[in-house]
Amino acid sequence: MPAYAGSRGEFLGGSGRGFYANQLDPKYLALGNLLTQQATAANIAAAQAIVPGVALPYPNFSGTISQMLRPFPQYSAVTDVYGNVARSTYHSLQFTAEKRPTADGLTITFNYTFSRTMDDLAARTGYNFEQEWAVGVNDQPHVWNAIVVYNVPFGATGRPGSGNSVVRAIVKDWQISGITQFRSGRPLGVIGATCNLPNAGTCYADFNPSFNGPVRINGDYGDGDVLGANPPAYIDRAAFQSPAAFTYGDTPRTLAHDLRNPSYFNQDFSVRRNFPMGRARLGLGFDVFNLFNNVVFGGIQTNITNANFGRVSSQTNTPRVGQVKVRLEF
């Protein structure tokens, strides 16, 4: 059974509007190195030759040109308390198939979701949120779940074990079930780099125009000795470079080179049975979570100036766990 589900978010928490966050307007980045110079008469005159209209905000101002040109030059920082201007959208196609319980004791439920999440929850500069509209950091385009429940036929009339009352009492009425889950990896976020943007926000890395080759290297995430003295990196640092001074970088906020975190796969398994005890009932069961002990790696470093760029640093799922359940109902 197919279905559509979607949502739209407005006035979400973002990085603040540029003016009310006291950020330097990007138009002043044309001043280059003058931004870091003191606001002397000579430096102001040089700035006016590039951007007409540059002037002291008030007669006794003292500081750099970049501080002078901020919306509130008398303050080093301003919080935009009404800066919830970000947006988001979610669209999904959902499909469900089900085999309902029948005489064979087997029930199967399968559901699949194909979706896309977009937002602008962060920005290089609060003066231009539009350029940050990108795939959301929680986007998982493919999600599917399969649930199987099976009432084991052993001990039922005409089935193995049905002719012996002792065997029948032991083997009948057991139920086994399993849940299998798959999730696409979430996008890698900002590829960080060295910035030179005085009071003007932050930057992301540039794509390296001379790079030619695979960006994902050294096999699947987690291949090799991730705890060794020199663990492998799974992203080629050469695919990126720090942007030029006084620029914001050209990589997107997410999915640069379509890079994603590892996908998630998990299998849980359960065996259970209820034993009638007069008016009471005793339930016994055994559960195993992450049956195949799959490891999902994460914590991937995404700042190209960090020595650990492209390496994994953590396990994001839990190892295999088993538990025995006993429940008495009366």
Q: What is the pLDDT of residues 101-110, one digit of tens each?
A: 887 789 999 9
Rounded distance between C-alpha atoms, residue 146 and residue 306, angstroms: 40
Strand partners, 109: 98, 147
Q: What is the pLDDT of residues 146-187, one digit of tens each?
A: 999 998 887 655 555 555 666 666 677 889 999 999 999 999
Q: What is the pLDDT of residues 299-308, one digit of tens each?
A: 999 999 999 9
At residue 168, the pLDDT reads: 66
- Are 121 and 134 spatial neighbours (Cβ–Cβ below 8 Å)? no
The residue ranges of every structural domain in the chain are 95-329
Report how far Cα 115 is from the mean position of its chain's Cα atoms.
Answer: 14
Per-residue b or e along 139-171, where b marks 16 or more CB atoms closer than 10 Å to that residue's CB: bbbebebbbbbebbbbbbeeeebbeeeeebeeb
At residue 160, the pLDDT reads: 56
At residue 104, the pLDDT reads: 79
Average pLDDT for the chain: 92
* Residue stretches of the chain with pLDDT short of 70: 15, 155-170
DSSP class of 68: H
Which residues neighbour 166 within 8 Å (Cβ) at sequence distance 6 or greater? none
At residue 152, the pLDDT reads: 84
- The C-alpha angle 132, 193, 242, rounded to 5 degrees, equals 100
State the DSSP string of 140-209.
-SEEEEEEEEEE--TTSTTSTTTT-HHHHHHHTT-EEEEEEEEEPPPBP---B-----TTS----PEE-T
At residue 220, the pLDDT reads: 95
At residue 166, the pLDDT reads: 62
- Are 311 and 297 spatial neighbours (Cβ–Cβ below 8 Å)? no
Tokens in use for 228? 């060794």
At residue 41, the pLDDT reads: 96
pTM of the model: 0.85
